[in-house]
Amino acid sequence: MSLLPPEDEGDGVEVAWEDQQRINTFSKLNNRLTDIQDLLKIKNEEKEYYDDLSMELELADSDSEPILYKLGDSFFHLSVKDARKQLKGDLKRYEKEIEGLESKKGECETGMKDLKVQLYAKFGKQINLETGP
């Protein structure tokens, strides 16, 4: 018994072991892509917070009291000058992390695109590889 409408049923192409491996690889890439996108969203938000903090520190008086700066799970008193230096390094680190994640995202998307072409060529409408809602 088939759940597909008669016009979409096709000729019942058999799924070979290699095809199943491609489907599994596509699924792994799709899951990895979702994880990377979630992580990218978090990293971009954190970088935005650091950008905002950078703007605030530019307006701060260098002779003012030390400020609390978060390093890991702890807060430390730093002078405005030292906080600016630390912030500059943190911003560079976030930019590198985001760049790396964007690269991995691109690799996943390319791999998924290639697998889609192969699998749709063999299975046509009998397989759904579309992601998202």
Query: How many distinct structural domains can be found in the chain?
Result: 1
The CATH number of whichever domain residue 56 belongs to comes to 1.10.287.370
Question: Which backbone phi and psi does 3 adopt, to 5 degrees?
Answer: -95, -5
Residue-level pLDDT at 71: 84
Lowest mean pLDDT among 3-17, 25-39, 75-89: 3-17
Structure pTM? Answer: 0.79
Mean local confidence (pLDDT), 86-101 = 95
- Assigned domain for 52 exists: yes
Distance separating alpha carbons of residues 128 and 112, to the nearest angstrom = 13
Q: What percent of the chain has pLDDT over 70?
A: 89
Query: How many whole angstroms from its chain centre is CA 68?
Result: 30
